Copies of this chain bind each other. A is one copy, B any other.
Amino acid sequence: MEKPIKNDAITSRDVDFAQWYTDVCKKAELMDYSSTKGFIIYRPYGYAIWERIQAYLNQRFAETGHENVYMPMVIPESLFNKEKEHVEGFAPETLIATYGGKEKLDDPLIIRPTSEVLFCEHYSKIISSYRDLPKKYNQWCSVVRWEKTTRPFLRGAEFLWQEGHTVHESEEDARVETLSMLSIYEQLGKDLLAIPFLSGRKTEKEKFAGAEETYAIEALMHDGKSLQSGTTHYFGTGFAKAFNIRFQDRNNTLQYAHQTSWGVSTRLIGSLIMVHGDDNGLVLPPFVAPIQVVLVPIMMQKEGVLEAARSLQSELIKLGLRVKLDDSPQSPGWKFAEYEMKGVPLRIEIGPRDLAQGQVVIALRDTKEKRMVSLSDVSQQVPILLKELHQRLLLSAQQHLNDHIRDAHSLEELLDILNTHGGYVRMSVSDEHEVETIIKEKAQATARVIPFHQKGLAPTCAITGKPAKRIVLFARAY
């Protein structure tokens, strides 16, 4: 009846990436399955990562004048049906409540898959003049999409996210908002997640149901596949017309408002795992790590060891760091494996022999390097080591990304690159659905983004031979 020992080897990343991913999710205690398929349990360690992401974004949202609100979790079916493209995009994957208090509901309630229609209905009531604009709201909640195939953090029937919904006087203001939020997501990647996102516009085929334009951040996973990690949408006046969101402008004329929406979700946790993780488990960038430093006493029973560990712990906590001292009866070896699995950036080993020399060992999670540091230097060294570790992870991910963007000039070349290297393939293409359909069918790849920098556009489409309209990055994706 003992709990299973946790330092079981996990599947190697290069042997079976999918199994490695699942092993890390479970063994790092990020999540557990519930009895309903696709509805996962966010365990304390996984949820704490999400809370760090929330704290970062809440600060950025507040700085940029956004306000948090909470909308109902249900949408009456009749309301949901108001914007045609939107309902067509989402209806096939909705969870629908039909009974309340033992009685059949007249108007079934859709559990929100996204909240555009709820925000729109509210906005139509509270906006009447240009003086009411802009309205920049954000909501933290969970949404439900009835997916057939589910994977922890990557694709769930329920997932946690934030959804921003804004209303503006002009197209220009709304377009600026759409791109500003994309830029905040890119900064989130650089500052917190140590992930260099690829960003750009989505093709017509890949854009959000109801949007005029969708922008995305994409991250390259260790296995060469791309993961869409966040999107921002410019809606134009489509929703405003469907929901009658009008305002009197500065010239006393009634106008439809311009809208945006944007969101990131707990998918970001999946990105973190698959960008930085290794065969020992998670590797967490220091600023998002729930535990930044773990202290492991060696030969705890020896006089002075625990005292030294405790004093070091409070020294580091005073610096504002998240520090754990593990003084449980497990062996040091077990603890090393455990906190490596959990991706704790720094481990400090405190043993009697080193202490006698006035020093401790600091082990770096990413490079596995061990450094002997004098006790009096630890407080000064740890913040530097954390920053360096963050920088190393970011650079290494950037290098991996740079190495995996390749040009192709034909379907064969694209196939060859995807099969040999994975990553992104840059191609000049015409702007028809046809191109994407062919690439999807022949190479199981999709258009990830139309990059902002379009330098090097070839004259003809690599697939159809027609005039090329734009450069698109294709990849196999999650």
Contacts and interface: CB of A to CB of B under 8 A. Distances in A.
Interface in A35-58: 35-36, 39-44, 47-48, 50-51
A211 interface: no
A157 B97 CA distance: 13
A92 B98 contact: no
A148 interface: yes
Contacts of A70: 41-42, 47, 50, 142, 160
Interface stretch (A10-18, A71-79, A200-208, A391-399): A71-79
Interface string A367-379: 0000000000000
A100 interface: yes
A158 B97 CA distance: 14
B36 A76 contact: yes
Nearest to A119: B41
Given A36-B109, A98-B96, A254 B73 contact: no
Nearest to A79: B35
B102 A72 contact: no
A68 B32 CA distance: 14
A79 B36 CA distance: 10
Contacts of A48: 67-68
Contact of A132 (B3, B34, B98): B3
Interface string A100-142: 1110000011010000001001100110110110000100011
A146 interface: yes
A5 interface: no
Interface residues of A, number: 64
A346 interface: no
Contacts of A101: 92-95, 146-148
Contacts of A170: none
Given A1-B128, A92-B102, A111-B111, A41 B97 contact: no
B96 A100 contact: yes
A54 to B, nearest CB: 11
Contact of A44 (B3, B34, B132, B137): B137
B121 A72 contact: no
Contact of A73 (B94, B108, B158): B158
A38 to B, nearest CB: 9
Contacts of A126: 32
Contacts of A99: 94-96, 98, 108
A421 to B, nearest CB: 36
A69 interface: yes
A441 interface: no
A457 to B, nearest CB: 40
Nearest to A111: B97
A248 interface: yes
A41 B95 contact: no
Contacts of A303: none
A51 B68 contact: yes
A48 B51 CA distance: 17
Contact of A35 (B51, B121, B131): B121
A98 B100 contact: no
A360 interface: no
Contacts of A158: 72-74
Contacts of A111: 73, 97, 111
B3 A72 contact: no
Nearest first, the 4 A-B pairs at minimum CB distance are: A39-B72, A44-B67, A101-B146, A42-B70
29 contacts: A1-B129, A2-B129, A2-B248, A3-B128, A3-B129, A34-B122, A36-B74, A36-B75, A39-B74, A40-B72, A41-B71, A42-B69, A44-B67, A44-B68, A48-B67, A48-B68, A73-B158, A91-B102, A94-B101, A95-B101, A95-B109, A96-B99, A96-B100, A97-B97, A97-B111, A98-B98, A100-B146, A101-B147, A101-B148
Interface of A: 1-3, 32, 34-36, 39-44, 47-48, 50-51, 67-76, 79, 91-102, 108-109, 111, 118, 121-122, 125-126, 128-129, 131-132, 137, 141-142, 144, 146-148, 157-158, 160, 248, 254
Given A2-B129, A35-B121, A73-B158, 8 more contacts: A3-B129, A36-B75, A47-B68, A74-B158, A96-B99, A97-B111, A100-B157, A101-B148
